Structures are given as structure tokens and as C-alpha cells.
Amino acid sequence: MERLDKLIASQGKYSRKEVKQLVARRRVTVDGLSAKSADVKIDETAAVIAIDGIPLTIKKHLYLMLNKPGGYVSSTEGHDGAYVLELVPRELYRDGLFPAGRLDKDTTGMMILTDDGQMAHRILAPKKHVKKKYLVTLDVPPTEEMVSRFREGISLSEGLTKPAEMELLEGNTAYVTLVEGRYHQIKRMFASCGATVVGLHRVSMGNLTLPSDLPVGKLRELTEEELRLLEELV
């Protein structure tokens, strides 16, 4: 059982204050009857709540895909500057929303934001070895020797990395796929090969790929199919 205003507000879009106004204006119905007060307790698993006659689908959790721009930090506190959470538009915002995983401030591309702590935890669990694929741009062309070194694992200060796949592309670019997520991992792996990463863009996690029509800096809810792919990761 949950309070009507809290329940509707938990879905984003309306604040609790706005829900109270909607109720006062008789725009909210519960099981077809106009709601008399915003603090009635509702069984969210059974009741049909509608606003202006349009039924609300109550979603327990929210899963968003972000095309992260450079210049935003993926942590939620403790930094100067812009946080990825600031990119979430009001109608998609929910309490408890946070980025499932970290990308460096200058890294761009795919990020998942969710209020489902358990799912995020499972995606990030090191032993799951979720594959994360990045498009990397270097200051020099990547070489076959780097491909072999990445495949063998690279010795970083905290130990040897797991084998990483590298696919050479045109010019100074390559795809790199990691199954772990150490601090500045790709940058440090290339640094140990004498190259500098000048651009890093995450293109996928498992079979879940950044859609080409999602503009930089924008978020949208995962489709059913994408949610299925996300669940497959863990």
C-alpha cells in the first residue's frame, strides 16, 4: 500500500505538489472513481489509476540509456562541475536514480541510469565479466603488437589485466572490449604501450548497443527489447 500522491510522483513527470493539485481538480481517478484526497492509500499492484482518463502504468523501476557527453562526471557527489544526473529531464527523473557504472569525465557514449540498485549491482559485479566495448582514438595508429599485448593482459600497478580484445580500425582508431572496469583502464593500458588515448566512446555493454538515433546528452527509457538485453547481461 502506498499513498496516492507518493505513488504518482514516484513515476517522475509530476511532483507531489502537482499531484495534489491534480487531485483537487478531480483529474485523478482510482478504479474509475474520482480520487477524493491525495493521501489515500492505494494497492499499487491492483488499482487502476488514471489522470485525465489516461491509465498510468506504474513501473517499479526505471531504466534509462544516456548518450553521455564529455565534460560530465558519472559519480553523484563529491566533484566540482557537471554531473550526468543533471542531464535527466524532469519528466524522466526519479528519486534514487543513479548511473550504473562509471565513465571518466571526458569519456562519451553509453551509460545506463536506473533506480534499481540490485540490477546495477549485478551489472557491475566484477565476476560477471560483462563485456564493455569502446571506440578508442589514439595519438598514433594502434598496432598489431598492441593487439597481442592487450590479448595477453597488461601489467598495471595493481596487477595483470584480463585479456582484452582489440580490433584495429582506420587511422588512429580501434575497438577495445574489456571484461572489467578498473580505474582509467583503457588509458592506462595504452599508456603502457606508449600511446595516449585522445578519445574514448563506449558503444555497447554485452549485446546492448548505444542507439545511433540517441543524440549526445540525451536520455530515453530502455525499450522492452533493450531491457531484455540488459537482463541478459546479468
Active site residues: 104
**Window 13-52: residues binding ligand URA (CB under 6 A):** none
The residue among 76, 7, 135, 117 whose CA lies nearest residue 87 is: 76
Residue 57 is given by DSSP the state -
Task: Work out how close the CB of 183 gets to ligand URA at its nearest, in angstroms, rounded to a whole number.
Answer: 8
Under the binding rule (CB under 6 A), the answer on residue 146 touching ligand URA is: no
Out of 185, 195, 205, 210, the only residue in the binding site for ligand URA (CB under 6 A) is: 185
Under the binding rule (CB under 6 A), the answer on residue 184 touching ligand URA is: yes
Q: Report the 10 Å Cβ neighbour count for 119.
A: 19
Under the binding rule (CB under 6 A), the answer on residue 204 touching ligand URA is: no
Under the binding rule (CB under 6 A), the answer on residue 200 touching ligand URA is: yes
SS3 call for 193:
coil
Q: Report the 10 Å Cβ neighbour count for 122.
A: 16
Distance from C-alpha of 102 to C-alpha of 65, rounded to nearest angstrom: 14
For ligand URA, the closer CB: 186 or 210: 186
Task: Work out how close the CB of 182 gets to ligand URA at its nearest, in angstroms, rounded to a whole number.
Answer: 8
**Window 100-129: residues binding ligand URA (CB under 6 A):** 103-104, 107
Q: Which run of H or E residues covers position 155?
A: strand 155-156
Under the binding rule (CB under 6 A), the answer on residue 187 touching ligand URA is: yes
For ligand URA, the closer CB: 62 or 205: 205
| Longest pairwise C-alpha distance within the chain | 71
